[in-house]
Amino acid sequence: MARYVERKKSWWLTCCSCCSRGEDVEDYVRGPGGTGGRPSDRPTDGSYSPGGEYGPGGEYTPGGERIPGGNRATGGGTIGENHEGANGTSEPGSNGNLPPMPTGNLQVQSVDLLKSRGGENRRSHHTDEYECDELIVRRGQPFQICVTFQRPFNPKSDQVCVILQLGNSQPINVPFVSEFDVGGWGCQVAETSGQNILLWVNTSAQAAVGKYQLSVRSGAGTYNDSKLKVYILFNAWCRTDAVFMDNEPWRQEYVLNEIGRIYYGTEHQIGERSWNYGQFNEGVIDSVFYILDRGGISPASRGDPITVTRVISAMVNSMDDNGVVAGSWSGEYADGVNPVAWVGSVDILLKYHQTGTPVKYGQCWVFAAVTTTVLRCLGIPGRTITNFASAHDTDGNLTFDVYFDENMKPLEDKNSDSVWNYHCWNDCWMTRPDLPAGYSGWQAIDATPQETSNGIYCCGPSPVLAIKNGLVNIKYDTPFIFAEVNSDKVFYQRTSNGKFKKVHVEERAVGHCISTKAVGSNAREDITYLYKHPEGSAEERKAVQTAAEYGGKSLAEVDAEDTGDISLTVESQDGVSMGSDINVRITLRNGSGSRRTVSLSMAVAVMYYNGVCKESFKNEECSVLLNPGEAKSVGMKVAYSEYRTQLVDQSAMMLTVSGIVKESGQKLAKQHTFRIRTPDLIIKVHGEACVGQQIVAEIIFQNPLQTTLHNGCFHVEGPGLQRPKVVQVGDVGPLKTISITERFTPRRCGRRQLMASFESNEMSLVHGVTDIDVQE
Ligand SMILES: [Ca+2]
Ligand SMILES: [Ca+2]
Ligand SMILES: [Ca+2]
């Protein structure tokens, strides 16, 4: 008995304001034979059947009992007004001693959202992987709920109405419909069984995404319970959803895959690492909704992926809005986490949700990877992409500009444009009803704070096709992304009157090997063709020309000086391991029929991956004499002892070669970047992995250097396996091997990946990953 008293009490306390006066509700006498009403009594064959395929023996009689327009009872008054309180018979306390009311106004006793992770609702909505016990559904697709009343439901005379409300926005009264309108709000009775009814509830394919409160109105009033939460997400499986993606393997990858590969390095030495997006990890979905709240998106805009992704690109960086990740390129990360040490997004998102303050620190791949997590968690197909030799056009003229003095020495204070060795951003998939036809599909968004758009640090969505064709008038922020992938590199020399003249244009310097993880495998997929026409093609020149015209600057004005008869190429060894010397070779070719003398300057500087160089630490000059038609190479060695104290985060260096040909006055200029390779971690798993059973993994690192690495630590995590964890190991001696042993208990079955990284004061960017097959 006490159980029912308790339930009745909570029922009234959360009911509509007219009833919830806070008085205790005493007795609540269960009726004779009242064993029904438990959710377990519901039919179990409730397969996904939009359009009203009712279960066997369904008493549902189409026709009479639907509620046209949603919330209006046919009897005249609204259902909400028709509760018994109006007659004084169900005032709290007033009916306590009455017997049950088999014929009274229909009163909801309980609502079961059928939300279990392995249940039909969550499996058919592809939400069963979320480590969250709420009902999570994708919009535009029906789900079932079971409603239990105090007496049998009479389809001929009873009405019920499902109400969904997002925050304080206008509640949605889900109308009863005879057939589900594809992608429209609607409700149908699937089955009745004694006091239970099984309802199909269909949400609009334009519904705002978020945490809704569900309530049910019946003849006796509205049943509210704060526990009745429904999380509604975007739906790539629904044809009428703006993020619909008509390809199951793509959806598996771009919505459901929790693990990604992120590419970095240089176009010649592409590195790759695994990343735990972890969009299904416990707490992540709430963090993501928190981000939307912090981003201040109105409920009306929360259904629009254009607005939502633009706000995500703003909120993932901390600029303007105290968003998720604080960027730093300083090399000093002591008061946070070194950007290269993160192994996944989960830690970052959970920390942000807990503290409400930006998490330190990130660089482009961290911003992009967290963005992918947010996109996939919300159900928007998304991927992380890497562009090599990515220009950052700081003055909006759509060219990457490099300035030299009269002697062809770089003018670092004037060179504000830069080329990042690589830069990461995101593609996300949606229709673009706001643009002329043809721009639906992949859209680029970039969450790394680089340049403001309408006054805030956000970027995109910009249709990838518009970027490809140089249509920089197509919103949003297409000029910026166009410049990243296809700006011309223009070299200027200061003349004696202090003005600059163009001395060289490289049309192919920017935007190479645009990469993303392939669908269904760990291979690298080259998607450069989506972002630009082939270098050297007429279409590519047309795109650059088009962009320049929209940018108000015709390339016709840009006449490079005659390129001359001496050519210059630079090669460096591929993938030199940390600790080894590096050999660079500069080759000059004389294409003329005369002798040529070239004065050459070479400068090597350590660079941050964003293209910003430290002051050069090695400079050489020489003079090269070339006979007609002759080619000559000049070698340059950069010893480990020279670079070891110089290196910053990503172990990259830039060689700038410039020169003047004595006889012709021709200017030569070339910038070449190269990268030092760091070692990999080895991960060994001991024993068979089963859900709920502890297993052991050994993670091994060998110091390749003759020097001690200080303040070493490992980051370890894997979705469904191991929550993010940091293990401090202190100093690692010269050439020493260390290992750590991690014990963890897999939470989910299937193929999982365990990832680890190692960082120290002297060396970071050390990663490892291994597959683990987890049995049920
Ligand atoms: Ca921001
Ligand atoms: Ca520029
Ligand atoms: Ca180009």
- List average pLDDT for each run of 10 residues in the chain, which is 776 residues long: 30 28 30 30 33 30 30 30 34 39 81 95 97 97 96 89 94 88 86 94 96 94 96 97 98 97 90 94 97 93 97 97 94 90 95 97 97 98 97 90 84 84 96 95 96 90 97 94 94 87 90 97 97 96 90 50 77 79 91 91 81 80 92 90 75 84 87 83 91 93 89 90 91 94 90 90 86 90
SS3 content of the chain, % helix, strand, coil (to 5): 15, 35, 45
Provide the pLDDT for residue 419: 87
Identify which ligand lies nearest to the alpha carbon of 510.
Answer: 3
Do 8 and 136 belong together in one domain?
yes
Q: Catalytic: which of 112, 446, 477, 649? A: 446
Phi, psi dihedrals of residue 558, rounded to the nearest 5°? -90, 100
| CATH number of the domain where residue 762 is located | 2.60.40.10
Instruction: Round to whole Å and give the CA distance between 332 and 402.
Output: 28
Q: How far is the CA of 200 from the centre of ligand 3 (A)?
A: 54
Kindly state whether residue 248 falls inside one of the protein's structural domains: no
Do 622 and 553 belong together in one domain?
no
Do 643 and 666 belong together in one domain?
yes
Kindly state whether residue 239 falls inside one of the protein's structural domains: no
Kindly state whether residue 251 falls inside one of the protein's structural domains: no
Identify which ligand lies nearest to the alpha carbon of 315.
Answer: 1
Kindly state whether residue 106 falls inside one of the protein's structural domains: yes
Does 715 participate in catalysis according to the annotation?
no
Q: How far is the CA of 269 from the centre of ligand 3 (A)?
A: 20
At CA 339, angle to CA 336 and CA 343, rounded to 5? 105
Burial grade of 14 (CB within 10 A; 0-12, 13-18, 19 or more):
middle
Instruction: Round to whole Å and give the CA distance between 37 and 52.
Output: 23
Identify which ligand lies nearest to the alpha carbon of 317.
Answer: 1
Instruction: Round to whole Å and give the CA distance between 740 and 728.
Output: 10
Q: Catalytic: which of 83, 423, 512, 672? A: 423
Q: Find out whether 247 and 239 touch, Cβ atoms under 8 Å.
A: no
Q: Catalytic: which of 364, 377, 424, 613? A: 364
Instruction: Round to whole Å and give the CA distance between 189 and 106.
Output: 15
Q: How far is the CA of 444 from the centre of ligand 2 (A)?
A: 21
Q: How far is the CA of 546 from the centre of ligand 3 (A)?
A: 13
Q: Find out whether 764 and 341 touch, Cβ atoms under 8 Å.
A: yes
Number of H-type helices and E-type strands within the chain: 12, 38
Q: How far is the CA of 319 from the centre of ligand 1 (A)?
A: 4
Kindly state whether residue 243 falls inside one of the protein's structural domains: no
Q: How far is the CA of 57 from the centre of ligand 1 (A)?
A: 56
Count of residues making up the chain: 776
Binding site, by residue number, is 486, 488, 535, 540
Do 688 and 627 belong together in one domain?
no
Identify which ligand lies nearest to the alpha carbon of 391.
Answer: 2
Q: How far is the CA of 470 from the centre of ligand 2 (A)?
A: 16
CA atoms within 13 A on the CB side of 443: 31
Do 650 and 703 belong together in one domain?
no
Q: Which of 633, 649, 677 is the last residue of a domain?
A: 677
Task: Identify the domain containing residue 762 by its residue range.
Answer: 682-775
Kindly state whether residue 249 falls inside one of the protein's structural domains: no
Give yes or no for a cis peptide into 476 (omega within 30° of 0). Answer: yes
Burial grade of 2 (CB within 10 A; 0-12, 13-18, 19 or more):
exposed
Do 209 and 268 belong together in one domain?
no
Does 423 participate in catalysis according to the annotation?
yes
Do 262 and 213 belong together in one domain?
no
Identify which ligand lies nearest to the alpha carbon of 371.
Answer: 1
Provide the pLDDT for residue 121: 97
Provide the pLDDT for residue 2: 33
Q: Which of 637, 662, 677 is the last residue of a domain?
A: 677
Total-model pTM: 0.77
Do 756 and 629 belong together in one domain?
no
Instruction: Round to whole Å and give the CA distance between 611 and 389.
Output: 9
Provide the pLDDT for residue 557: 43
Do 92 and 9 belong together in one domain?
yes
Q: Find out whether 643 and 617 touch, Cβ atoms under 8 Å.
A: yes
Give the torsion sign (CA, 244, 245, 251, 256): negative
Q: How far is the CA of 353 from the centre of ligand 1 (A)?
A: 15
Identify which ligand lies nearest to the alpha carbon of 456.
Answer: 1
Number of structural domains the chain divides into: 4
Kindly state whether residue 441 falls inside one of the protein's structural domains: yes
Do 671 and 694 belong together in one domain?
no
Phi, psi dihedrals of residue 539, rounded to the nearest 5°? -65, -40
Kindly state whether residue 246 falls inside one of the protein's structural domains: no
Do 188 and 168 belong together in one domain?
yes
Does 364 participate in catalysis according to the annotation?
yes
* Cα separations in angstroms, 318 against 166, 359, 363, 407, 770: 26, 8, 12, 42, 33
Binding site for Ca(2+), by residue number, is 486, 488, 535, 540
Do 213 and 136 belong together in one domain?
yes
Q: How far is the CA of 486 from the centre of ligand 3 (A)?
A: 4
Q: Which of 644, 677, 710 is the last residue of a domain?
A: 677
Q: How far is the CA of 668 from the centre of ligand 2 (A)?
A: 20
Instruction: Round to whole Å and give the CA distance between 473 and 437.
Output: 15
Q: Find out whether 510 and 398 touch, Cβ atoms under 8 Å.
A: no
